[in-house]
Structure 1
Amino acid sequence: MRKNTSGPRFKALLEAANISTTGFAKFWGTEAQNVHNWYTRGVPAYRMEEVSRLLSVNSEWLKTGEGIKESPSLSPPASNGDHFDANDPQGSYRFIHPNDVELAFFKETPLDSSDKTHVIQDPDLSIRLLRAHLDQLEVRPGDAICAHMIGNSMADRIEDGSIVAIDRSLTQVVDGEIYAIEHDGMLRIKYLHRMPGNGLRLRSHNSAEYPDEVFRPAQIEEQRIHILGWVFWWSTVSKRRPVVPFL
């Protein structure tokens, strides 16, 4: 019988998914010390299959380090219908695959009872991206958020209703890159260009309908123009379904 050496791999899987010992123990319904013991003693044999399914890895790989690592399919929900997310402060757990990153959604919403809006997090929405996409662009998961593209000012590159991902750590303007900005409470997606004297040019991809906008430093302050971050990913759905010939 092959020796159970699963402890270090089990610990590495939790760390890769940003799952704490306490969070996993709470989901599992046990004490944190019991889970901590698995790091050195290994996952108990009678728990191996269940833990492997939960972490979406093959049980043989988890146990011995041999064979194929990845499970053929993602893990099913827990028996009580919950999903595991150790970062969820509300305690309604949802499992996050180690290869994924879950990003919060931000949206433009009315401010009190006035006509003004502001940009805040939407607690009911989130999206998962492959961690490899962020790693490739050196985007830290904690700096990334998502939002919806509203309107056709960036068509045909980013269509109305697309989801965009934003790196909040990159707010310095690199000419010609796409950024998300909050403009007097509005959420806008634009190409940005620096102008002499610390001015700013906003440019739309659909320039035929949306001409350039140029703002002087005083206007940037007066109109509360704030760069939220660099747009590094977006989803765009095709405008039409292709017609299959000869049917």
Structure 2
Amino acid sequence: MRKNTSGPRFKALLEAANISTTGFAKFWGTEAQNVHNWYTRGVPAYRMEEVSRLLSVNSEWLKTGEGTKESPQLHAPASNGDTFDAQSVGGIYTVTNPNDIDLPFFKETPLATGAGKTHVIQDPEQSIRLPRAHLEKLEVRPGDAICAHMIGNSMAEHIEDGSVVAIDRGLTQVVDGEIYAIEHDGMLRIKYLHRMPGNGLRLRSHNSAEHPDEIFRTAQIDEQRIHILGWVFWWSTLSKRRPVVPFL
């Protein structure tokens, strides 16, 4: 396995973009010291893809210094002849016609190392088609939109288990009472979020009878690798049962 030597490259990228350690930490929702540690220890493996996407570089180059620096691009021609560009790292979308967009699916899956650990990655075999008008109405950029499945009954009866949710990664700042997708130590979770004093975070379920509120302080957010993936702006819910037709 190739060694993670991303620290110096990560630091150089921030300096080239005139982004301070404090500024990047504030945007990322963590402490400046944690970002400073990445300069010597390297960007954590579970953050590599998203940091690469934010800085518009190839994740393998950031990690090892090998390969091309530039992030590979997807060029998807629309039916009207236009070309839409999107980063292929964490931001793929395909224009199927001028009115629809295919968005990538992300899922929670076990780490190769085992030990019961999971992480959230893109599933190349799945996508969901949404009307372009839905995204435009809510000012969601197509390259920031991804989809995932709701897992469990914590948001029932609002978002049922198995529903598809669409997530805007361009909105990670917490607006109290809005629904967000988060990655919590490798687990994909859908929750109402509320800010707490001292940069803490409250996670609230719609099904609060079975899933009480969870409160995390700043140190716990970093220790438990809680990262906001984005705002949930759309979801589909399948009916629990097919109606019984009488008199048949």
Residue identity opposite 2:81 in structure 1:
L
TM (normalized to structure 2)?
0.63
Amino acid at match of 2:205: S
Deviation at 1:113, TM superposition (A): 2.9
Residue 146 of structure 2 is aligned to residue 145 of structure 1 = yes
What is the count of residue pairs matched by the alignment? 166
More divergent stretch after superposition (171-180 vs 107-116): 107-116
Q: Give, in angstroms, the shift of residue 243 of structure 1.
A: 2.2
| Residue of structure 2 equivalent to 1:244 | 245
**Cα distance, 1:13 vs. partner?**
1.9
Residue 161 of structure 1 is matched in structure 2 by 162
Instruction: Structure 1 unaligned segments of length 5 or more: list them.
Output: 1-10, 21-85, 89-93
Gaps of 5+ in 2: 1-77, 89-93
- Aligned counterparts of 1:138 and 1:170: Cα–Cα separation in 2: 10
Matches within 5 A, 1:101-140: 101-114=101-114, 115-140=116-141
Which secondary structure does the structure 2 equivalent of 1:14 belong to?
coil
Shift of 1:95: 7.5
Partner SS for 2:208:
coil
Contact 1:19 1:87 in 2 (8 A): no
DSSP-derived class of the 1:119 partner: strand
CA contact (8 A) 1:108 1:186 kept: yes
2:182: which partner in 1? 181
- With over 3 angstroms needed to count, the CA separation of the structure-2 counterparts of 1:113 and 1:197, relative to structure 1, is same
Compared CA separation, residues 95 and 210, structure 1 to 2 (3 A): closer
What is the alpha-carbon distance in structure 1 between the residues aligned to residue 137 and residue 97 of structure 2? 18
Q: 4+ residue stretches of structure 1 with deviation over 6 A?
A: none
Shift of residue 244, structure 1, vs aligned partner: 2.3
Residues 72-91 of structure 1, C-alpha deviation per residue, up to 9 Å, x if partnerless? xxxxxxxxxxxxxx999xxx
Whether the aligned pair in 1 keeps the contact of 2:107 and 2:121 (CA below 8 Å) is yes
**RMSD (CA atoms):** 2.3
Asked if 1:207 is matched to 2:213, the reply is no
| Conserved? CA contact 1:104–1:122, under 8 Å | yes
The higher radius of gyration belongs to 1
- Asked whether 1:217 is paired with 2:224, we answer no
Asked if 1:13 corresponds to 2:80, the answer is yes
Q: Distance in 2 between the 1:228 and 1:177 partners? A: 13
In structure 2, the CA distance between the partners of 1:242 and 1:174, relative to structure 1 (3 Å rule), is same
Distance in 1 (CA, whole Å) between partners of 2:173 and 2:87 is 29
Q: Structure 1's 212 and 87: CA in aligned 2 closer, same or farther, altered over 3 A?
A: closer
Contact 1:179 1:228 in 2 (8 A): yes
Q: Could you tell me whether the CA contact under 8 Å between 1:201 and 1:212 is conserved in 2?
A: yes
Deviations, residues 187-237 of structure 1 (Å, cap 9, x unaligned): 000000000111000000110000000000000000000000000000100
Amino acid in structure 2 at the alignment position of 1:109: T
Which one has a larger percent strand, Structure 1 or Structure 2? 2
Distance (whole Å) between structure 2 residues aligned to residue 128 and residue 206 of structure 1 = 28
Between the aligned partners of 2:238 and 2:112, the Cα distance in structure 1 is: 33
Q: Is the 8 Å Cα contact of residues 146 and 165 (structure 1) preserved in structure 2?
A: yes
How far did residue 241 of structure 1 move?
A: 1.4
Whether contact under 8 Å (2:80, 2:98) holds in the other structure is yes
Which residue identity lines up with residue 184 of structure 2 in the other structure? H
